[in-house]
Every structure is written in structure tokens, then in C-alpha cells.
Amino acid sequence: MNLDSYIESLKEDIVRTTQEWIKIKSVEGEPKPGMPFGEGVNQALLKALADSAKMGFTTKNVDGYAGYAEYGQGKELVGILVHLDVVPEGDGWSYDPYGGVIVNNRIYGRGTVDNKGPAVACLYALKAIKDLNLPVSKRVRIIYGLNEESGWACMDYYRANEEIPQLGFAPDAEFPIIYAEKGILTLKLAREFSNLKNGELVLKSFKGGLRANMVPDFAVAVLEGSEKALKTASDALENYKKEKGFKMEAVIEGNTLTIKSYGISAHGSLPEKGKNAIAQLLVFLTTLPLPGDDISAYLNFLAEKIGLTYNGENIGLKLSDNVSGNLTLNLGVLELTEKEAYAALNIRYPVTYKKEDLLKILEEQISGTGIYLKDISDMAPLYVPEDHFLVQKLKKVYEEKTGEPARLIAIGGGTYARAIPNAVAFGPLFPGMEELAHQKDEYIDIDHLIQITKIYAAAIYELIK
């Protein structure tokens, strides 16, 4: 029997196991002894390890931070990186998000696509290779991560304490093959204010955005001033929003003017898909006759150097390369009081650059302004060249299994593939499929689930035979 027909015979088991894993609410919770990510996540790990052991794989619980199922023999180790944690379910579901309900051949539930369905597919792919006793020359490990959605502490711990695979893939994005992922630099442009002046109109506060890696859909500023100054500012807003086509509103109460700015949220790696509520409001504020003090200088810097742009051109960061395209910059959070302020930036930079290149440019840009960089964190870019053994093998499998060309994709997002050397993201979504990760009514179609199990079986076997 070949891999595909054997996997067809396992269809009911694959569906049932996926439902069982979905029924465990594995959202990060309060840490407990031996459960650094809480009880729900730990339960998901114990279930995955028990199912893996039942299939005859060598398993290990890595101190509650991660786990793995291993098969094969040889010195070389291939890694399949999956994760069992999920984001909170949110509201508006048509079915129980932890019910694993089947409707119209679809399994519904949080984690069906991101990432329990693909994890089950990889586990059964490996079971098929084992049960058919196909000859292998390497070992393979399905590594169960538990903190992908909120920090990757699982992979940090795994890497510090366990054998690191030489190559592998993460079934946590899309097909055909994601071979390049931009670097992700997050930082704050901060400043304390000492030189403040009074005037007809002063800015008391500004607050917008939730996270650096999200395009902010709301921002609010509060100004104080004379009745005349507030009325003039309110009228100016009417003209500005009409001219620009922005959704903004102003309310005068006593001696304060509150301005609200509404945008459209999008992922921080795709700032062009959103409308930045902070930027809309920031640019407007710099058109008002505010006193020429530290606050004004800070706002003017941000408006001039970032403003409504998202390619870094005004702040010296218009960088690009042939592999991964242009740098993107998202102004995700801005918080300002009369004492201090910070703006949180999320920068996705091309794979041929290093964070040091960007930090040097930013230090030059802020020199002499009183602004400083803080809370800097970086994820180095990922790039596995097209002629690499891994990419060539996965290309061959994808083209044989789908009859479609295996295009290589570069993205601004970050996948688990970054956790080990020589890894790429490979599936589970096919081109044109709706992206349901983190959405309400997340589901995986059963035919899709079986199809990816066949692809992953062929891929794993190509890498370890």
C-alpha cells in the first residue's frame, strides 16, 4: 500500500484526533509548577504526547515548555515545527469554538488551521511512514511548541536544552514555500518633556493604538485653550478631514477639545492594507498653532519623518532587495502626556540587511532631538536560497502532489520556521484560500486536512529517506 491510500484509510482517525485536540482550550494561562503556560496549554501537550506515544514514537516532555515525537535513525535530525497554543476565541462564533463540530464537511474550532489541524496532519503523516515501514536514513522530530502566539519562550527553552534539527519546515503559513521572511525590528522613539510653554492652544494628551504590530484603528487627543482657539481648531479639522477623506470628529466641552480619529486595522507587516488612525491625527495636530516647545518638536519630528508613509523613506529607511522587496514601517502605538511620550514602531526589513544597519540610521536621524530609542527587540530575517536541498525537495513534492508550480514566496510576517536553521514555512493554506487564523468561525475542510496529510507525508519522507 502506498502513502496516499494508507492515509485515506486513516481518515476517520485523523478527523477524530483533530476534534479531540480542538476540544482542549489551550490559550495561555497563569503559570503553575511544571506548566509555564498554564493548565490548558499543558493539557494540549499531554494529549499530543500521549497520542504520539500510542503510535509508537519516542516522546519527551521538555519541562512543560515544549515536547516532541521522534522517529527514525541516523545522525541527522529533521524538525517539523508545530504549535498547540491558540489565541483567545473572541466573540461572534456560529459554533462552539472548542466543540470540534463538523458542519458541511468542515471541522470548526479555534486552532483548526492555526495550528492543531496541521499538527495532527504531520503526526499522521509520520505514522503512515512508520506503519508502512518505509526505509529511512535520518531521524525526524515533530516539535510541539506551546507559546508561539505570545512570545516563543517555548522555542527559546527547547533550543537551550535539546538537540537542534539541521533543517525542517513549519506548517503554519501557506503553500507553496515561504523561503524568505523579513527581519522584524520593534522599538520605541521616546522623549521626556522639560521645556513646556503656555499658549492659546496646548496639547494635554494623545493616545492611540494597542500593539506595535497592528495598524491602529483609533486615536484620541485632548487639547486645552480659549474658546476662540478651540473653535478655530475644530473648524480646521472639518476642512482637513474633508480634504483627506479621513474619519475624524471633534467635541468641545468647556475649555477642552477632544479629537477622535478612526482608521482601519491591519497586520503590522501589511501597513498598506490599513488606515493609520494615529498618523491621521498626528499630521493634523502639526497644522495647529501649538506653542513651539518640546511637545511640538516631538510631534513635528514624527509627522515629518513618518507621518502617513509606511516605507521608511522620510526617516532614511527606504531599503529593499530582490529577494524580499521593500522595508515597511508601522507606527502602531503613540502615548503622550505632558511629562513624556513614546511612539512604538514595527519595522519589517529586507532579508539582506541586519538590525544594526537600521539602528545606525535611526540614531543618526534622532541625533540632537532629545528623542532616544528604547525597548528594542529584533527577529533576524529568514532566508533559505532556492538551490538549497530543503527547498528543492519541497518544490518537487508540492509540484508532484498538486500539479501546480511551486512558487517561492517572501513575506513580512514571522513564522515558526525562524526557530531553527535552514527551515521554511510550508502550508497549510493553498493559494487563494481564505485566511481564517485568529478569526471567528475558524475551520478546516476535511478534504483539505487529508490532502495536506498526504503532502506532509511525501515531504517528510523525501527529507528522511
The residues assigned a catalytic role are 85, 148
3-state class (DSSP) for residue 291: coil
The single-letter DSSP state of residue 172 is S
What is the DSSP annotation of 199-243?
Answer: -SEEEEEEEE-S-TTB---EEEEEEEE-HHHHHHHHHHHHHHHHH
Q: What share of the chain is helix, strand, coil (3-state, %, to 5)?
A: 35, 30, 40
Neighbours of 220 (CB within 10 A): 14
> For 28-69, what is the HEC assignment?
CCCCECCECCCHHHHHHHHHHHHHHHHCCCEEEEECCCEEEE
14 in Cβ contact with 447 (< 8 Å): no
The number of angstroms, rounded, from the C-alpha of 374 to the middle of its chain's C-alpha atoms is 21
Nearest to 76 by CA among 393, 392, 463: 463
Counts for the chain of helices (H) and strands (E), in that order: 11, 24
194 in Cβ contact with 312 (< 8 Å): no
The number of angstroms, rounded, from the C-alpha of 264 to the middle of its chain's C-alpha atoms is 18
Q: 451 Cβ partners below 8 Å, 6+ apart? A: none
3-state class (DSSP) for residue 296: helix
C-alpha–C-alpha distance, residues 119 and 103, integer Å: 21
Grid coordinates belonging to 181 = 521572511
Instruction: Give 316: exposed, middle or buried? Use CB within 10 Å, 0-12, 13-18, 19+.
Output: middle
The tally of CA atoms less than 13 A away on the side-chain side of residue 102 is 12
Instruction: Give 260: exposed, middle or buried? Use CB within 10 Å, 0-12, 13-18, 19+.
Output: middle
End-to-end CA distance of the chain: 17
C-alpha–C-alpha distance, residues 73 and 16, integer Å: 30
- For the CA atoms of the chain, what is the radius of gyration? 25
C-alpha–C-alpha distance, residues 232 and 223, integer Å: 12
Sole residue written with cell 477639545 = 257
362 in Cβ contact with 373 (< 8 Å): yes
